[in-house]
Structure 1
Amino acid sequence: MSTTLIRNADWIIAWDDQLKSHTYLTNQDVVFKDNKFVQIGGTWDGEADQEIDGRGKMIMPGLVDIHSHPTSEPGNKGLLEELGSKRLGQSSLYEFMPVFRVPQEAAPVATKVAMGEMLQSGVTTIVDMSGSRENWANEVAETGIRGVLCPMYRSARWFTKDGHSVEYEWDEKAGEAAFEQALKTVDDARKHPSGRMDGMLGPSQLDTCTEGLIKDSLAEARKRNMRMQIHAAQSVIEFEVIMRRFGYTPIEYLAHLDALGPDTIIGHGIFLNDHPMLHWPAANDFETLAKSGAHVAHCPTIFSRRGIALNTLDRYAKASIRVGIGTDSFPHNQIEEMRHACLMSRVNTRNYLAGSTDQAFNAATVWGAEAIGRDDIGKLAVGMKADFSIVDTKHPLMRPCREPLRSLIYTAAERAVKDVYVDGQQVVRDGKALYVDMDSALDQLEEFQRETVATVSERDWAGRQIEEMSPMVFPQK
């Protein structure tokens, strides 16, 4: 067994099991053997095969990203930042995202870009919500990250013919076939030789899946002792559709299906009946959600672009609703997501005390780990997996470094993340992902995006060109 010592780190964000909380240690050691921590804090007096100087450094647990779409979102950069449907609840889900999606053959390239960004922002575990494809587990594992493959499948696709109404094209047999493929995908992921791959079942969206598909997914997830994640309560349109079909709010409908519990992750969980953008007093979604034990994947960045926000991180956290953080869109930067989670919570409550740094950090670490059913990641403690980051506290944007986590989240972000380790192996050195050729991947992704942009009129309901749909910030001469 190889022993690595980080000697005399300025700061360590350690886990205190008695307090059930992260805590700061200063000027102490961190030691791991192979892929597990053997000492957090104190002074190591044993032998070490490698010693790292911890002066001017902060050691923090690896971040857990519980909701991401790495095959599609990197290709939306420059297209969707200021785009939503004014007649479809400000969402870009129905009118624009299907039109701008890069082709399936771009998936491996887009994945590399997203994984590189995640690793460089300190993410060590990612829930990859994509469609099943050949070689998927290998592609994720090759980046060095710890991956949870969540193949998505559905019974219907959505589309709009007019920009103000959403229609659904149902193909239940195709959904069932995709579900069967998903089961094979998650079972194979757990057998991956890296030992870092796992699985999760992902019926795509509440409004695109039959009752049977959702129930069967949860039953198979429970049989395998894994989680199920489903997009729900993510748009005004979805709220209205589920209410019209079944007479339930999305949260009530999940509860009706017995699909709202500790083994379920709700992707977004924003539009409860009392959300300010709705008026539906004849329900109590918040209490139902809180009592259920279900987890919520909170992705503040993409929704804030559309003028939409969770109501709110602070409120959910204080009600013991377990919230995890996800990078639902570009940039795949978990530190920025934490910042936005705090700021949006404060803006929406008009209270600077709402949306605290500890809530956001817990969501990105221990609560995220709990959401995906792991008790061996997301914290620095003896026996935990050696998934962690080394932050440069001497970076100019970290200084003055009176409170290192605030300096990191509100100012420095990924720019101060120096080195990252997953399962005891270094995957980022001096801010660069070691197993992802970002320049090459970005060159290829740009070409895929150019091809997609050139043909948007063929997929758009109104036949618009890209300049009409997503104009440049300034006129181009």
Structure 2
Amino acid sequence: MSQTTCIRGVDWLVGWDGRQHVYLRNSDLVFKGPDIIFVGDRYVDCVDIELSGKDRLIIPGLVDIHAHPTTEPIRKGITDETLSPGFWHSSLYEHLPVFDPVDDQGRLACLKVALAELLLSGVTTLVDLSSPFEGWAETLLDSGIRSFVAPSFRDARWFTTNGHSLEYDWDYEAGKKAFRKAQKIVEHVKNHPSGRLSAVVSPSQVDTCSEELLRDSHALARDHNLSWTIHAAQSVTEFHEMQRRHGMTSIQWLDSIDVLDERSVIAHGIFLDHHPWLHWTSQQDLKLLADRGATIAHCPTVFSRRGIALNTFGAYLDNGVRMSIGTDTYPHNMLDECRTAVIVARIIGQSVTDVDCVDVFNAATVGGANALNRDDIGRLAVGCKADFSIIDLTSPSMRPVREPLRSLITVAGNRPVKDVFTHGEQVVSNGAVLNIDLELELTRLHAAQVNMLNVVSKRDWKNRSDQELAPLMLKTVESI
């Protein structure tokens, strides 16, 4: 029999009124097992557990629509500042293939560290775009997070032999084999008995997949009523490659082969035909995205490190494009992503009016939930899942308390995140992750990074060392 828990007298509670997030003051949040059964003033029925909501803000669990947790944490201290002038400084083509875990132990350490970071920043739902390996889904389950596995597959890998031109090694049989493997995983987990594990169909990149693979994978998503996600419009190099192949943009080509619709989640959707770096004239992509009901997975931090930005968050919203937020890089901190999204949008848009904090919060909650076709996560209301975070309002980063949610996004970040619940189960307590030994996994991650750095020169097209590809910030000397 599931226990009933009441968090009594919550100072500030972000509830859902059926249309929008709203504040409730001095309210009760009650959940039984995985489900919320009451949100409002003074719950009078008997409960099994009662907790105090004094000096607390409760927010819905954040929905991370796009992350690569099995690879990104190992790149900390490496891809923070990278140069790749032949590819408009995207790190996709020279750096990411080189700085990648060498084995499954490294990927597992990456995953556990990333999961801890996500939970500590209030994420309760994750879409994990990874190459599948043994123990992947089990680790996600054990962490307590709500996860959508998105096993990746493609027909080609990209490579460069000179640092300025991109080539593709096509292997259609390997692409079909990877797709069949992904299909088995998707069909196995989509109705998992835990209630916390599902799937998203995930062809890797628009320029590494054939039309046949994209059509077949989209049909799989449609048949199982799942979301379908793909990297598209993520670099200038990709934009010109798709123009060379098809005489149209990535977005236009996806639409022409009937895979752009309301289940499509486009990561990262930056280099659309209105982007000023492209100086293009067609100006069709924003309208296509809006008309088809597709969602953008916006991951501002990793691109802002390269001097690259969406143009702009507010412009996409104004054109009717659905928006969601992902992490896509270390640290896997959704609250930091939200703050970066606000700041970058206002700078690129040259106006504070380009976007409001509430627009980004919506994208990080209901925007991601809607993209996953879920109306029971990303919001707090009766009938929704008990996925939420408890914020400590006595934290110095939150005081004085006048506008707590905006303060959380613009000032505090993850510092005051006290407790996190997913599916009615506590996964963070007093600022500590319950199901992951973070110190142990950080030690393992360090060892995995050392192993990776030892093979960098063998992986690089020019046999450069890690110090050449990613030099230290300061010169190292023996004495001063």
Question: What does the per-residue CA deviation read over 1:86-143, in whole Å, with 9 as the maximum and x for residues that have no partner?
Answer: 1101100001110011123122211100000000100000000001222321110000
Matched AA of 1:299: C
Question: What does the per-residue CA deviation read over 1:60-99, in whole Å, with 9 as the maximum and x for residues that have no partner?
Answer: 1000000000000000100001113111011000011100
Structure-1 separation of matches of 2:283 and 2:355? 25
Structure-2 separation of matches of 1:231 and 1:424? 33
Alignment of 1:70-149 (within 5 A): 70-105=69-104, 106-149=106-149
Structure-2 separation of matches of 1:383 and 1:372? 17
Superposed displacement of residue 476, structure 1: 1.3
**8 Å Cα contact 1:341-1:355 kept in structure 2:** no
Structure-1 separation of matches of 2:392 and 2:406? 14
SS of residue in 1 equivalent to 2:207 = helix
Superposed displacement of residue 318, structure 1: 2.3
Question: What does the per-residue CA deviation read over 1:301-347, in whole Å, with 9 as the maximum and x for residues that have no partner?
Answer: 00000000111111112222111100000010000101011111000
Matched AA of 1:41: G
Alignment match, 1:231: 231
Alignment match, 2:429: 429
Alignment of 1:330-409 (within 5 A): 330-409=330-409
SS of residue in 2 equivalent to 1:99 = coil
Structure-2 separation of matches of 1:449 and 1:395? 34
Alignment of 1:442-453 (within 5 A): 442-453=442-453
Question: What does the per-residue CA deviation read over 1:431-458, in whole Å, with 9 as the maximum and x for residues that have no partner?
Answer: 1110011111110111110111122111
Match status 1:28 vs 2:27 = yes
**8 Å Cα contact 1:62-1:377 kept in structure 2:** yes
Matched AA of 2:352: Y
Match status 1:254 vs 2:254 = yes
Give the RMSD, CA atoms, in angstroms: 0.9
Matched AA of 1:374: R
Taking a change above 3 Å as real, the CA distance of residues 289 and 191 of structure 1, as seen in their structure-2 partners, is closer
Superposed displacement of residue 397, structure 1: 0.4
Length-normalised TM-score, structure 2: 0.98
Superposed displacement of residue 191, structure 1: 4.5
**8 Å Cα contact 1:137-1:192 kept in structure 2:** no
Alignment match, 2:301: 301
Alignment match, 1:3: 4
Moved more, 64-73 or 96-105: 96-105
SS of residue in 1 equivalent to 2:379 = coil
Matched AA of 2:98: V
Matched pairs, number: 475
Match status 1:318 vs 2:318 = yes
SS of residue in 1 equivalent to 2:22 = strand
Match status 1:275 vs 2:275 = yes
Alignment match, 1:49: 48
**8 Å Cα contact 2:102-2:451 kept in structure 1:** no
Structure-2 separation of matches of 1:84 and 1:417? 35
SS of residue in 2 equivalent to 1:151 = strand
Question: What does the per-residue CA deviation read over 1:147-191, in whole Å, with 9 as the maximum and x for residues that have no partner?
Answer: 000000000000111111111101110010000000011111124
Structure-2 separation of matches of 1:319 and 1:276? 17
Matched AA of 1:130: S
Length-normalised TM-score, structure 1: 0.98
**8 Å Cα contact 2:286-2:321 kept in structure 1:** no
**8 Å Cα contact 2:9-2:28 kept in structure 1:** yes
Unaligned runs of 5+ in 1: none
SS of residue in 1 equivalent to 2:97 = helix
Matched AA of 2:111: T
Alignment match, 2:17: 16
Matched AA of 2:373: G
**8 Å Cα contact 1:69-1:328 kept in structure 2:** yes
Structure-2 separation of matches of 1:317 and 1:431? 34
Taking a change above 3 Å as real, the CA distance of residues 321 and 104 of structure 1, as seen in their structure-2 partners, is farther
Structure-1 separation of matches of 2:222 and 2:83? 37
Matched AA of 1:154: R
Alignment match, 1:64: 63
Structure-2 separation of matches of 1:363 and 1:439? 32
Moved more, 268-277 or 131-140: 131-140
Matched AA of 1:86: P
Structure-2 separation of matches of 1:283 and 1:145? 40
Superposed displacement of residue 400, structure 1: 0.8
SS of residue in 2 equivalent to 1:290 = helix
Match status 1:466 vs 2:466 = yes
Matched AA of 2:78: L
Moved more, 135-144 or 206-215: 135-144
Matched AA of 2:172: E
Structure-2 separation of matches of 1:402 and 1:245? 54
User: What percentage of residue pairs aligned between the two structures are identical?
Assistant: 48
Structure-1 separation of matches of 2:395 and 2:246? 55
Superposed displacement of residue 283, structure 1: 4.1
Moved more, 100-109 or 438-447: 100-109
Question: What does the per-residue CA deviation read over 1:448-477, in whole Å, with 9 as the maximum and x for residues that have no partner?
Answer: 101111221111111111111111110112
**8 Å Cα contact 1:272-1:286 kept in structure 2:** yes
Taking a change above 3 Å as real, the CA distance of residues 386 and 136 of structure 1, as seen in their structure-2 partners, is same
Structure-2 separation of matches of 1:143 and 1:56? 28
Structure-2 separation of matches of 1:349 and 1:145? 35
**8 Å Cα contact 1:9-1:28 kept in structure 2:** yes
Structure-2 separation of matches of 1:195 and 1:406? 31
